[in-house]
């Protein structure tokens, strides 16, 4: 169905994605988590915008594993071995990235499950005492979605379910069509033309 929509309306949504899901070797151990359903089935319909927040804040590959710690509602992001606190760095990066993606025009996001940076739901959070596991959201994903609250977002595992995948794609295509309509609106075009510098 989405293929027909794509051909009929010429719409190709732009969707952010955790880069490891496309096969990029950006994980802490130098590996990837390529997901064939996401990379293959969805990849045929959308334009990906891959992001690895841990690499982009300068942690490198390979790197020490990190985790969420403290309160599940406002967890800290720390290096598991040393306790180094990465919370501020990751928050600032996610806020800047949200502004960049808004300018670029984004129609959805696919996040890697259970990652302390990218996970959307049920990410383990270690309690202050070091024991017990509560469940939270990855720090990059939560900060980004605070800034872009209407952006359709899902984790890769849930997209293996055909009904969930269909619902996600419908929301993504609706967002893409809305963005295109806005771009073509005469008012927006003339506002942009007014902003363009005149030749001297």
- Which residue, chain included where needed, has tokens 């025009």? 105
115 binds ligand SF4 (CB under 6 A): yes
Residue 163 half-sphere exposure toward CB, CA atoms < 13 A: 0
Which residues neighbour 142 within 8 Å (Cβ) at sequence distance 6 or greater?
A: 136
Least gap, CB of 53 to ligand SF4 (angstroms): 5
- 97 near ligand SF4, judged by CB under 6 A: no
Q: Which residues pair with 105 in a beta bridge?
A: none
Contact letters (x/-) for ligand SF4, 40-59, by CB under 6 A? ------------xxx-----
Under rule CB under 6 A, residue 126 binds ligand SF4: no
Does 20 help bind ligand SF4 (rule: CB under 6 A)?
yes
Q: Which is nearer to ligand SF4, 11 or 26 (CB)?
A: 26
Reference 64, options 88, 81, 85; nearest CA is: 81
Tell me if 19 contacts ligand SF4 by CB under 6 A. yes
Q: CA angle, corner 89, sides to 88 and 92, nearest 5? A: 80
Q: What is the DSSP string of 84-135?
A: -B-HHHHHHHHHHHHHHHHHH---EEEE-TT-TTT--S-EEEE-TTS--EEE
Provide CB contacts within 8 A for 88, sequence distance 6+: none
Shortest reach from residue 42's CB to ligand SF4, in Å: 16
Residue 107 engages ligand SF4 in binding (rule: CB under 6 A)? no
When asked if residue 112 is in the footprint of ligand SF4 (CB under 6 A), the reply is yes
Q: Tell me how far, at minimum, the Cβ of 33 lies from ligand SF4, in Å.
A: 6
Number of residues that bind ligand SF4 (CB under 6 A): 12
Task: Tell me the C-alpha distance between 42 and 47, whole Å.
Answer: 9
- Tell me the closest approach of the beta carbon of residue 135 to ligand SF4, in angstroms: 17
Residue 143 interacts with ligand SF4 (CB under 6 A): yes or no = no
List residues binding ligand SF4 (CB under 6 A).
18-20, 26-27, 52-54, 112, 115, 117-118
């Amino acid at each position: 169905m989405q293929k027909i929509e794509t051909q009929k309306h010429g719409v190709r949504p732009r969707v952010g994605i955790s880069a490891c899901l496309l096969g990029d070797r950006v994980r802490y151990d130098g590996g990837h988590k390529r997901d064939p359903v996401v990379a293959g089935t969805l990849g045929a319909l959308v334009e990906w915008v891959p992001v690895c927040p841990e690499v982009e804040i300068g942690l490198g590959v390979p790197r020490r594993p990190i985790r969420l710690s403290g309160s599940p509602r406002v967890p800290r992001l720390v290096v598991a071995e040393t306790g180094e606190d990465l919370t501020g760095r990751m928050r600032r990066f996610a806020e800047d990235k949200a502004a960049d993606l808004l300018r670029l025009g984004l129609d959805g996001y696919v996040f890697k499950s259970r990652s302390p940076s990218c996970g959307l739901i049920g990410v383990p959070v270690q309690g202050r005492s070091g024991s017990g596991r509560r469940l939270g959201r990855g720090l990059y994903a939560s900060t980004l979605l605070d800034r872009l609250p209407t952006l359709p977002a899902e984790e890769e595992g849930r997209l293996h379910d055909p009904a969930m995948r269909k619902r996600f794609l419908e929301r993504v295509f609706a967002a893409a069509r809305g963005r295109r309509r806005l771009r073509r609106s005469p008012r927006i075009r003339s506002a942009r033309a007014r902003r363009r510098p005149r030749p001297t």
